[in-house]
Each structure stands twice: as structure tokens, then as C-alpha cells.
Amino acid sequence: MKKRILVVDDSALMRRVCSDIINADSRYYVEDTAKNGLEALELIKRKKFDAVILDVNMPKMNGLELLRELEKQNIKVRVMMFSSTTSQGAKETIEALELGAIDFVRKPDGLAEVKGDEFRNRFLQILANVSGASLTSEAPKERSGIRAGSNKDSARTTSESIPRQTSRFAARSSDTSALTRKREETVKTGDDKNSDEESRTFGRGSFTVRQPINKEIVLRPKQAKITGDKIVALASSTGGPRALQQVIPFLPENLDAAVLLVQHMPKGFTKSLAERLDALSKMRVVEASEGEKVEKGTVYIAMGGRHMTAVKDGNGMKIKYTDLPMREGVRPSANYMYESLMDSPYAEICCVVLTGMGADGTAGIRNLETKKRIYVIAQDEPTSAVYGMPKAVAQAGLVSEILPLEKIADAVTRDVGVR
């Protein structure tokens, strides 16, 4: 059965372009279009859509206002944003992801790009991600009044009082939590009605579908604590910006490690993501710069559209970017980040894999394990928007703990300690 799509944009041209792309694909059809958020809200209340394509800047009710209204009325819908690469557009995109949008596609710069295969393929790739995503995870709760633009001191002094995500999936995740107390217990993954979408992998210029291979998940045996410097290396993709707000702000300022973070995003958006997380967090959060020294107490987010690695710099490490081809169909790739730590001075690497499509991170962690001691934490299925990357690393037998999202920051802190 074809998936039903709602296209919301005040531009008649963009509504037509989106509709033509969607209707030309056998998986989807455009059920309705709307010129603004108010029209869209009424349609969403009356009909069921598998995904909504949503512009930001529209009259009467813009895209962000619609997302706020949907959240207020507790209406769950899968949303894919149209985003501008301007500084303001990037900030609006990050806010949209925080408000519940699952992913975004960059608006084309002109008619030539609109008609090109690259835009069409990218559009359909992201639509496939979004239309197959889970709707079980809830929005991050209000963080004691901290919003973008709050000063850092305020965020640091109040973030301990930030409420944890109290989710409707807590009961369902209790079985998974129990498994972490029995690391040698074998867990079988169940079939899921969306498992075909969740197993999709990225491909350059196309989007392929692989049937899932059900495998037993065996947690790694518990290891004795060791001394020595550690580093945290975190990977996330679809649903990641929202998930990161339940992890990064809950890491303590005196965490005894730096954090390297790869979030799959194009160029122009990661700076706004870093600024938003920095405003909410005790740790310093930055978009990593070329040659920047890796220091404890800082989260380094990979620049969109480039591969971030860490290389030796005297007794420490520094950030180095490369423009190698996409890997697993993405750039930045977590695989390159993990593999760059094979030749690092750290006694242990705490690897964290959050929600995301595909399998980025698994190969890198597997290679990293040949040279370094690792401790791997994967997000569980009920709290993942897309259970792809965490599932892949778990099925590879590399995971030490499988946890609901709200427990991951505590697990990281327990593993690496505080100063």
C-alpha cells in the first residue's frame, strides 16, 4: 500500500515540485497539499498521513508554530522539514527537530537544482527515513526555562534540575534494562512491522532496501574497571538532534573525558546544533575546528559535510578533517571517527550509538576493538526514532549495554568517571 503524504508550503511551485517527485515514486502518493500551517493542522486532525513535508516560513501559521501546536495537542505525525542553509534557517531547523520533526532536506537553490537527480534522490531518501520512523519517543521536556540564547552559567547551574524524559515507553524498556544486568544473557530480536524500513541502507544517488536479518544479540561480558584516560565517541543520525538533548545536557561539567560526536548533517547546520546544545549543557559544546586540541570537558561535534577524525598531537589528540568519499552513504561518518582512535593514547573508548538509519559506526567500532579496549552503549529500540544504527552494532555482538535514552548519560558517566 502506498504511503500517504501531506505537502505544506506557501509556494505553489514547491508544492508542485514535491508532489511530482513523490507521485513518481511507487511507494508514495500525495494525499493533500496545504498553503500554511492552519490548513495543514485541520487536515492532520481529519486524516491520517504517513509523513508531512513542512516548510518553515508561511503566512497565518508557520512551520514551527504548527509543530508547537501539534505538540500541545499531543498529535503524533512524522514530519520532514524543508530547510534553508542561511544562519537563521539553520537555527529554525534545529528548533524544528527539537519540536518533533524527524529529519530535514535542504531547499534547492534554483530551478536547475530542483530538476536535478541529486535533489530528487536525496528528497526520496530522507522521505523514506521519515515515513518509516517510530512515533513512540516523546519530545524533550522543558529544561528549567533554558532556551537557546541562555547564558552558559545559567545552564550549568540549573541543568541538574532539568527533568529527565518521563516517557510512555518506560515500561516497555524495562526488559531491556534488565538485560544490562545480565550481560551474558542472549536476547532475541523480535519482528517489527517497520523492520523493512529500519533496515534500509544509504546508497549514493539511490535508496536501497534490504530485508532484515534476525540475529541474536549477545551483550559483551562485563569487564573490570581500568585506570587511564578515556574518551567518549558518540554517533547519531535520524532522530539524533532530539535524542542528543536527553544525553549531552545530562553529562557533568567535570566528566573525566572529552566527547567526540558525529551527527549526520549537511554543511551549515551543525554550528546551530552545537550552539543549542551548549546553551543547555554543563559541558562546553562546539562545532569542532580543524587542528583544535581535544580536551576533557568539551563535546566536539563534527562539521556537517566533512569527515571528522582525531589524530595524535604530542601527548594528546587534535581534530583533523578529511574530504574522503561518503561511507555508508554519509559524510561525516562515525566509522572514520572510531577508526581514527585506533592509534590514540586512550586506555578505553566509550562508544555510544544512538538512533539512526543504516549501520554507520558498526564497522568502525569493530575495527577499533582490534587495537583498543572499548565499552559500547547502544540506545534501545523503544526509545529510538529509527532503530537502525543501534540495532546494527548490537547484532554485531559489540555492545556492552542496551539502554533507554534517558539512562545513557548516567551510563557514560559511570564508565568514564568524573574529575
Rounded to the nearest 10 degrees, the angle between the axes of helix 63-72 and helix 37-46 is 40
| CA separation for the pair 364, 352 (Å, rounded) | 12
Beta bridge partners of 327: 330
Three-class secondary structure of residue 129 per DSSP: helix
| CA separation for the pair 367, 259 (Å, rounded) | 19
Q: Catalytic annotation on 307?
A: no
Is 119:113 a contact under the CB 8 Å cutoff? yes
Contacts of 263 (CB under 8 A, 6+ apart): 236, 237, 240, 241, 244, 270, 273, 301, 302, 332
Q: Catalytic annotation on 360?
A: yes
Q: Which residue has 555492545 as its cell numbers? A: 399
Is 1:28 a contact under the CB 8 Å cutoff? no
Q: Name the CA dihedral angle for 412, 397, 384, 180, rounded to a multiple of 10 degrees.
A: -50
| CA separation for the pair 394, 31 (Å, rounded) | 37
Helices (H), ranges, 188-262: 195-198, 240-244
| H-run or E-run covering 32 | strand 28-34
Q: Catalytic annotation on 237?
A: yes
- 199, 264, 333, 344: the active-site residue: 264
| CA separation for the pair 334, 388 (Å, rounded) | 14
Beta bridge partners of 186: 218
Within its chain, how far is the Cα of 337 from the centroid? Answer: 16
- 55, 360, 380, 415: the active-site residue: 360
Helices (H), ranges, 116-269: 117-131, 152-158, 170-180, 195-198, 240-244
Query: How many residues can be counted in the chain?
Result: 419
- Residues marked active site are found at 237, 264, 360
